[in-house]
């Protein structure tokens, strides 16, 4: 813009705008900052983060996506990186740190190329080429796994929990994980797994070793009436989603009573209705009732007298899980109750866990829904063990769904980088540079694993590369000795999907950020506004939403 030309405003004056290299530099910097934050948590020797929210609640975690969600990141480009972690979490359940670190490194390497005056669209094209090739390479180096490979599946679960709060009991937790996933897996030609069918219930108290797999459902509920039995064996279960109460009339009805007998009649009528309801339950042969709504005191009393176990106000989601675990159908109207609606469990019991009574529905014959009851000394421990179990369950499920696994400890990444470099030899010019940069970016995983273990990243990487050149495709880092090891032989095994998903979402977001050359942030009247590349203005209005 020359001096003598008047500037023309096409947007409100309060609009913040940055363009060209400036916009790119700011976005890349913000994205890199996010990935730097979680980088130190990667791998078995990774550190934990302590996050304190505005209410003073403390979370201690090693889990990438949890850290980023709790940090309440506001910068728009940084938020895009957080989305990468969330996608990874939804698609696989593990590998969130890996995906974020990779995205940051792809941008960092792209920045070097930008400095060499390579146009962003050329870099984007090279990255896309490399990402496609990477998918192909990853699939070709993966090994098969099936539901009968119990010991391999267990190794996957253990790898997921290495270095997490669950570490101390990972052997036992891995057994639980594999058992749980196998039970809810349905195989009919295809493999179908819904990890929601594994309910993770947390209860502070005891130790992590007390964590147990219940072949059925654990409810955070006590029995409705103290006179009910604490244990019912050979349980026949009714799941009722309407109340065992007298319905209050829909309209305000007034009942005029003229003599005391009428009142007695009226009360008798109510009592009879409740008795009839309970009689219906008794005649079905049921000895356990789970009711999503309330149960009248009188009905509780009648049920208790018949030795029937009942819980009320059971959550809808738990009702559905109970149906899957026991084979019961949820009944809305007792009139329609029939024998086939009843579910079965070997044992229903009330047990004190920590300081509270809980209901255990155990020994279901072929449960399609199970519960892991996570125990641990403090709330922080229980929470972190649950997150580690979530990762492990996600990994085992993911391995079974695609039937493909790879070795970890950076072996896959080093092999991938090596083959990508070979591929780049077939290219020419600036695209070749971009593919090489992509390969170097993938090596951020071995470098970071080494750094976090207090090892020299350059030495480690050199040694790894030379092993891979000798066709040892599973050569990885032993973070405990600093030596190269065969990751496969050492049982460090991960689902292929962790790697393919991390590559695809990290490269997508890197490309997207690279292609932005103009950031236009609305003025304060559109909701605060974050100046591109900066922090929100001093008054701390709400951040810009993407």
Positions annotated as catalytic residues are 63, 96-97, 391
Q: How many residues does the chain have?
A: 546
The partner residues of 18 in beta bridges, in order of sequence, read: 519
Q: Which of 27, 46, 174, 323 binds ligand ADP (CB under 6 A)?
A: 46
Please give the helix or strand (H or E) that residue 406 lies within, else none: strand 404-407
Closest distance of CB 370 from ligand ADP, Å:
24
Q: Which of 16, 24, 162, 505 binds ligand ADP (CB under 6 A)?
A: 162
Instruction: Give the pairing of strands 231-240 and 288-291.
Output: parallel
Within 10 angstroms of residue 174's Cβ, the number of other Cβ atoms is 23
Instruction: State how far the Cα of 244 lies from the Cα of 237, in Å rounded to an integer.
Output: 15
Residue with smallest beta-carbon separation from ligand ADP? 408
Residues 49-78 that bind ligand ADP (CB under 6 A): 62, 64
Closest to ligand ADP by CB, 96 or 326: 96
Map residue 232 onto helix, strand or coil.
strand
Instruction: Tell me which DSSP letter residue 519 carries.
Output: E
State the binding string over 380-419 for ligand ADP (x if CB under 6 A, else -). ----------------------------xxx---------
Q: How many residues belong to the site for ligand ADP (CB under 6 A)?
A: 24
Residue 48 lies near Mg ion (rule: CB under 5 A): no
Binding segment for ligand ADP among 43-51, 145-153, 209-217, 272-280 (CB under 6 A)?
43-51
**CA atoms within 13 A of residue 499's CA, in its CB half-sphere:** 33
Closest to ligand ADP by CB, 459 or 545: 459
Q: How far is CA 447 from CA 36, 72, 96, in A?
A: 13, 28, 17
Closest distance of CB 484 from Mg ion, Å:
21
Residue 94 lies near Mg ion (rule: CB under 5 A): yes
Q: Which of 492, 496, 503, 511 binds ligand ADP (CB under 6 A)?
A: 492
Cβ pair 473, 376 in contact under 8 A: no
Binding segment for ligand ADP among 145-153, 156-164, 166-174, 274-282 (CB under 6 A)?
156-164
State the binding string over 462-481 for ligand ADP (x if CB under 6 A, else -). ---------------x-x--
Residue 91 lies near Mg ion (rule: CB under 5 A): no
Q: Residue 529: exposed, middle, or buried by beta-carbon count in 10 A (0-12, 13-18, 19+)? A: buried
Binding segment for ligand ADP among 88-96, 258-266, 287-295, 428-436 (CB under 6 A)?
88-96
Tokens encoding 493: 């095994």
Closest distance of CB 94 from Mg ion, Å:
4
Instruction: State how far the Cα of 486 lies from the Cα of 494, in Å rounded to an integer.
Output: 14
Buried/exposed 53-92: b ≥16 CB within 10 Å, e otherwise: eeeeeebebbbbbbbbbbeebbbbbbbbbbebbebbbebb
Contacts to Mg ion by CB under 5 A = 94
Contacts to ligand ADP by CB under 6 A = 41-44, 46, 62, 64, 94-98, 159, 162-163, 408-410, 445, 449, 477, 479, 492, 494
């Amino acid at each position: 813009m020359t001096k003598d030309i008047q500037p023309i405003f096409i947007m409100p004056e309060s609009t913040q705008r940055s363009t060209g290299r400036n916009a790119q530099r700011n976005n890349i910097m913000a994205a890199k900052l996010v990935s730097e934050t979680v980088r130190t948590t990667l791998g078995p020797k990774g550190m934990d983060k302590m996050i304190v929210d505005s209410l003073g609640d403390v979370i201690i975690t090693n889990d990438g996506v949890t850290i980023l969600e709790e940090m309440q990141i506001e910068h728009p480009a940084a938020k895009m990186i957080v989305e990468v972690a969330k996608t990874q979490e939804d698609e696989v359940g593990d590998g969130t740190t890996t995906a974020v670190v990779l995205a940051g490194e792809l941008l960092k390497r792209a920045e070097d190329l930008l400095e060499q005056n390579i146009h962003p669209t050329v870099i984007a094209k090279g990255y896309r080429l490399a990402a496609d090739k990477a998918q192909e390479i990853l699939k070709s180096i993966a090994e098969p796994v099936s539901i009968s490979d119990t010991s391999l599946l267990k190794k996957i679960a253990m790898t997921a929990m290495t270095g997490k709060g669950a570490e101390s009991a990972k052997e036992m937790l891995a057994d639980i994980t594999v058992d749980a996933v196998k039970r809810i897996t349905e195989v009919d030609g295809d493999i179908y797994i819904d990890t929601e069918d594994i309910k993770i219930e947390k209860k502070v108290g005891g130790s992590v070793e007390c964590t147990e797999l219940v072949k059925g459902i654990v409810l955070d509920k006590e029995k409705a009436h103290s006179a009910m039995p604490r244990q019912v064996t050979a349980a026949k279960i009714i799941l009722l989603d309407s109340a065992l109460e007298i319905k209050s009339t829909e309209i305000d009805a007034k009942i005029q009573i003229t003599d005391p007998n009428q009142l007695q009649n009226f009360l008798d009528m109510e009592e009879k209705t409740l008795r009839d309801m309970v009689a219906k339950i008794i005649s079905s042969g049921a000895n356990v009732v789970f009711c999503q709504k309330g149960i009248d005191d009188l009905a509780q009393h009648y049920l208790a007298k018949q030795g029937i176990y009942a819980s009320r106000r059971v959550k809808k989601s738990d009702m559905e899980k109970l149906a899957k675990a026991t084979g019961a159908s949820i009944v809305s109207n007792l009139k329609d109750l029939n024998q086939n609606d009843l579910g079965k469990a070997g044992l229903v019991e009330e047990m004190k866990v920590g300081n509270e009574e809980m209901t255990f529905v155990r020994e279901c014959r072929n449960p399609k829904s199970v519960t892991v009851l996570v125990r641990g000394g403090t709330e922080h421990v229980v929470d972190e063990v649950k997150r580690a179990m979530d990762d492990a369950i996600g990994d085992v499920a993911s391995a079974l769904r695609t039937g493909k696994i790879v070795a970890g400890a950076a072996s896959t990444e080093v092999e991938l980088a090596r083959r990508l470099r070979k591929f780049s030899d077939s290219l020419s010019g600036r695209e070749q540079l971009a593919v090489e940069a992509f390969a170097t970016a993938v090596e951020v995983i071995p470098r970071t694993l080494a750094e976090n273990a207090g090892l020299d990243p350059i030495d480690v990487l050199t040694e790894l590369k030379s092993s891979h050149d000798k066709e040892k495709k599973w050569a990885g880092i032993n973070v405990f000795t600093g030596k190269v090891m065969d990751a496969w032989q050492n049982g460090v095994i991960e689902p292929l999907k962790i790697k393919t998903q991390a590559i695809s979402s990290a490269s997508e977001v890197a490309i997207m950020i690279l292609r932005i050359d103009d950031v236009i942030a609305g003025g304060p009247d559109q909701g605060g506004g974050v100046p591109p590349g900066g922090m929100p203005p001093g008054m701390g209005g709400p951040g810009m939403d993407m």
